[in-house]
Structure 1
Amino acid sequence: MNTAARRIGSRLVMAAWLFAVWLMLWGRVGPLIAAGGVAVVASAFAVSRPPAAPALRRVRPLWFAAALLEFAWDLLVSSLIIGRHALYRPGRVRGAIVEVDARTRSELILLAVTTSISLRPGTLLVDPDWDRHILRIHAMPVRSQREADAARDGVLRTEERLMRALVTAEDTPGQDEPTREDR
């Protein structure tokens, strides 16, 4: 697929997303609401340049399901750890800013990683450096270098899971044939 077609397809995906958000805000679908949504989306595109939706080459369903399950597990474990510290030692919990060098070059994967880590109790994105692919996160509890390294490794594992599940053009240039992992 050439670049112009990819860009047009990406803009159409963004327009469909904006239209879907419009419908969700109203909570129902009717002819006037749909016409209003089309007008709002057209106006948004006329007065601004909405970003192109990042393109996925492929979604690997089994790896995606595994990433969702591991995210649910991380969510449970981090909730228990933060809950324990909140109940038993609230004044002794320490945090740290941890810098993580992302391996991916895809903005979509970086966005998914930052969303995933920010949804988990105990971690929060503080400062993303999108140009250098560096994420600075606040992690807690962190009392030692070993725990800071564990927090960094947790973010890198999340990134690795998402890179396996979501194949993007930035991370796999020139690989259009399905691999054994895709089947």
Structure 2
Amino acid sequence: MSPTETGRHFWRDIRVQLPFLAWLVVLWMLLWSQFTVLAFISGLVVAVFVTRVFRLPTVELSGRINIWYAALLVVQFLFAVLRGAVAVTVQVFDFRHQPGAAIIAVPLRYADDLMMTHVAVISSLVPGSLVVEADRDRQVLYLHVIGVRSMADVERQREGVLRWERRVVRALGAPAQYRALKADLRATRAGGAGGLTRGGAR
């Protein structure tokens, strides 16, 4: 392959991987909590280096994005980060009670590799929880969480992760994942309505 063809191939790969590169840059800036020009440039250099040196199989994107749900996801994530930071601070300075911690398993319901990655990153960036292992075959995330003192707290934390999964599916999930989510929500609403009707009949 000639140098010209090599250069053309390089820039074509960059264009194809542009969404992935942008996501890596965002993660880099979040990791260092710096949103500056220097952080952007260094993140871009690292992203290009990682994608060129550590060649991974091509990530198949969903081909779907809902602008409204994506914007809502960003707002909800920023609010969750703020609320989590306040909650962790309160727990740290509450010397009367130990915050309590646990490792919980969360079986995801609509996950593929990309969806599991999205949910794992969001769950880890929200203060108070950290993904310590991901079972790719069984689609299970294992999280270390603080502020857990009872099984009710465990279920609340697990439901919180599943809520993030639903939000990501609405915003970025593949069409099949989004259809599965809508079908489950309709079934849940129908079941709730049926329960109310039966209860009223009694």
Verify same fold: TM over 0.5: yes
1:131 partner SS: coil
| Equivalent in the alignment of 2:16 | 13
- Give the deviation of 1:148 after TM superposition: 0.6
RMSD: 3.4
CA separation of 1:172/1:76 partners in 2, compared to 1, >3 Å: closer, same or farther? closer
Structure 2: which amino acid aligns with 1:136? Y
2:106–2:158 contact (8 Å) kept in structure 1: yes
Tell me the distance in 2 between the aligned counterparts of 1:78 and 1:41. Answer: 31
% identical aligned pairs: 26
Q: What are the ranges of 5 or more consecutive residues in structure 1 without an aligned counterpart? A: 1-8, 29-36, 174-183
The residue correspondences of 1:11-160 to structure 2 (distance < 5 A) are 13-14=16-17, 24-25=41-42, 44=53, 49-89=55-95, 92-160=98-166
- Give the deviation of 1:69 after TM superposition: 1.2
CA separation of 1:67/1:41 partners in 2, compared to 1, >3 Å: closer, same or farther? closer
Structure 1: which amino acid aligns with 2:88? I
Q: Residue by residue, what CA displacement relative to the aligned partner does 1:113-163 show, whole Å, maximum 9, x if unpaired?
A: 100010011100011101110011011110000001000010000000000
Q: What are the ranges of 5 or more consecutive residues in structure 2 without an aligned counterpart? A: 1-11, 26-39, 180-202
CA separation of 1:81/1:15 partners in 2, compared to 1, >3 Å: closer, same or farther? closer
Specify which structure has the higher proportion of helix.
2
Higher relative contact order (CA 8 A, sep 6+): 1
Q: TM-score, normalised by structure 2?
A: 0.63
| Equivalent in the alignment of 2:177 | 171
2:84–2:126 contact (8 Å) kept in structure 1: yes
Count of paired positions = 151
Tell me the distance in 1 between the aligned counterparts of 2:18 and 2:67. Answer: 25
Tell me the distance in 2 between the aligned counterparts of 1:138 and 1:42. Answer: 29
